[in-house]
Structure 1
Amino acid sequence: MTDLRLEGSRVIVSGGGSGIGLAVAAAFLREGAKVGIISRTAQTVERALAGALADSDGLVFASVADVSDESSLAEAVLDLTTRLGGLDHIVASAGVEGEMGASLEEVTEQGFREVLNVNVLGAFLLVKQAAPHLKLASEASVTIIGSDSGFVAAPGMLAYNASKGAIVQLTRALSFELYEDFKIRVNSVCPSIVDTPMARRGMGVDSFNDVPFPVNTPDDVAWSVLFLSSPLSRAINGVSLMSDFGYSARSSFPA
C-alpha cells in the first residue's frame, strides 16, 4: 500500500462535522494524522465525535465557529492549532446550498449573500487565519471543496453556481500568492453531486439509490483530498480537480 506520508501531520477541516468534511476528517485520521474540525453547531460536533470520529485515540479535536465570522473563525483556528501542536494542512469544506430550485426572480438578496458568505468568504477567511501557521510547516497544503457547478450550470442554482465559480478563481489566486514565497500548495476538489445530507435536502430526495446519474460518495471526495494534501502531489498546485465521472468532458454534438 502506498504511504501518503500524512502520518503525524496536523489538519484542520472546516465543515468537519458532517458530509464531505466529516469523511475527510475520518480519512485523515485513518492515515495517522491529527485532526481538528470546525463546525457551526455544538450538536453537529457531538454527533461527529460520537459517530465517525469516535475511538480516535485523542487525535481529534473540535471547535465551534461560523466560518463567515472572522473573529469566531480566528479563535477556532488558533485554538485547534494550539491543541494540534502546529498546522500542516487545511481543508475548507464548510458550505451551504442556498435557495435550490428558485428562479432568478425568486432568489432573495439575503439568500444569495448567505451562500457567498459561507462558500466563498468562509473559505477565504479560513486560509487567511491559517496562513501564518501553515507558513511554519515544510510541506503545507490547502484544499478547498468546490463543485462541478463552478464549471457548468444547472437551473435553480444561481447562488451556488456563482459561489463555486468563485472558488475556482480563488484557488488559482491563492496558489500563486502562497506558493511563491512559502511553497504552500492550494488546490480544490470539484465533485458533481455527492450523497450528503445537504445534497439530499437541496434536491428534495431521501436517497440517491435510483437516480439516473452517477453520484459521488463522501469517501470518493475524501480520497482526492488526501492525495492533493500528500507530499506525493508536490507538483500539483492551482488545480481544480473535477470529480464528475467525465460528464463535463462530453461534447454537445449529437453523435
Structure 2
Amino acid sequence: MDLQLRGTSALVTGAGSGIGRAVASALAAEGVRVVLLDRDESAVRDAARTCPDSIVLVADVTDEEQTSSELASLERLDAVVCCAGISGPVGSGIEEISLGEWNAVFAVNVTGPFLVLRHALPALRAAGAASVVLVSSDSAFVASPGMAPYCASKAALVQFARALSVDLAGTGIRVNTVAPSVVDTPMSRGDLGDAAFDAADFPVQTADEVAAHVAYLVSPRSRAVNGTTLLSDFGYTARSGFPA
C-alpha cells in the first residue's frame, strides 16, 4: 500500500539508535526527507547514512535553548515523531530512587516532547495537514515491578498526546501515540541483558515493526485517526485475570 508520503518531511528525535533510528529509516524508504535529531552526534550521523538527503541536528531534547536553536531553521514539517526516551532506574522501589533520577526520566520522556513540539509547531502549521506521533509504551497501561518513573512518564505522554490533539483540533495537525511492549533495542538489552532476548520466554517485537506503525500514523492514510494510542502488546492487556 502506498502511504502517500513521498515528498514530505519529518523530524525524528532519538534518531541515533533503537526505535528512532528504525523510524527514520522507514520514513526515508517511503520517500520522506527526514530530519534526524539526537544528542549523540556520532550515532545520528551514522544513522543518516541510510536516509538520503537527510538533515542532521544535534541537541539534547531536555535543553530548551539547544532544541529551539536547532529547530529554528525548519520552515515546514509534515510530521514530528518523538522517539527519544530513557528507562531510568529498573528494579528499584521508590524509596531507592532519588528525586534527581525521577526528574531525569520525566525530563527526557515528557518534557522533551513538550519542548520539541512547542518549537516545532510553526513548521507543522506551515504544512497545513501534519501528524505528530509520540512513542510511549505498554507501560503506560500495565506496570512492571521497579519501574515506577518509566511507567508514570509513559502514561503522562499518552495523556499529553490526547490533550494536544484537543488543543490542535481544527488546525490540521493530528497527534497520536504508539505504545509497544518489549522491543529489541540497545536500551532494552541494557535494562534486561542480552540473555533475556537470546532465549526470551516473552513476546518481543523489533524496532522495524514499531516503525511500521509509526509510518502509518504519519501518513495521510490515517487521517481520521487522532488523539488515540496504537497499543502493540500481542494482546496482553486484553486478557482477563478470571481463572477460567
TM-score interval, smaller chain: over 0.9
Letter in 2 for 1:32: G
Of residues 175, 192, 201, the one that matches 2:181 is 192
Aligned to 1:65: 59
The C-alpha deviation readout for 1:182-214, integer Å capped at 9, x for no partner, is 120000000001000001111133561311111
The 5-angstrom pairing of residues 122-137 of structure 1 reads 122-137=112-127
C-alpha distance in structure 2 between counterparts of 1:237 and 1:225, whole Å: 13
C-alpha distance in structure 1 between counterparts of 2:113 and 2:5, whole Å: 22
The C-alpha deviation readout for 1:158-190, integer Å capped at 9, x for no partner, is 10001001011101100111123x120000000
The C-alpha deviation readout for 1:57-81, integer Å capped at 9, x for no partner, is 4x211111010111111112223x2
1:231 aligns with 2:220: yes
The 5-angstrom pairing of residues 164-203 of structure 1 reads 164-180=154-170, 182-203=171-192
Question: Structure 1 length normalisation: TM-score?
Answer: 0.93
C-alpha distance in structure 1 between counterparts of 2:6 and 2:169, whole Å: 23
The answer for unaligned runs of 5 or more in structure 2 is none
Aligned to 1:99: 89
Aligned to 2:40: 41
C-alpha distance in structure 1 between counterparts of 2:30 and 2:169, whole Å: 25
Letter in 2 for 1:114: A
Aligned to 2:16: 17
The answer for unaligned runs of 5 or more in structure 1 is none
Identity %: 47
Structure 1 ranges of 4+ moved more than 6 A: none
| Coordinate RMSD, CA, aligned | 1.2
C-alpha distance in structure 1 between counterparts of 2:9 and 2:139, whole Å: 30
Of residues 224, 227, 237, the one that matches 1:248 is 237
Determine if contact 2:45/2:56 at 8 Å carries over to the other structure: no
CA positional deviation for 1:103: 1.4
C-alpha distance in structure 1 between counterparts of 2:134 and 2:222, whole Å: 15
C-alpha distance in structure 2 between counterparts of 1:224 and 1:212, whole Å: 24
Question: Across the two proteins, how many residue pairs are aligned to each other?
Answer: 244
C-alpha distance in structure 2 between counterparts of 1:160 and 1:191, whole Å: 14
SS of equivalent to 2:211:
helix
1:156 aligns with 2:146: yes
Rate the CA distance shift 1:210–1:89 in 2: closer, same or farther, 3 A.
same
The C-alpha deviation readout for 1:194-238, integer Å capped at 9, x for no partner, is 000001111133561311111110011101001111111111000
SS of equivalent to 1:174:
helix
Determine if contact 2:184/2:206 at 8 Å carries over to the other structure: yes
SS of equivalent to 1:135:
helix
SS of equivalent to 1:208:
helix
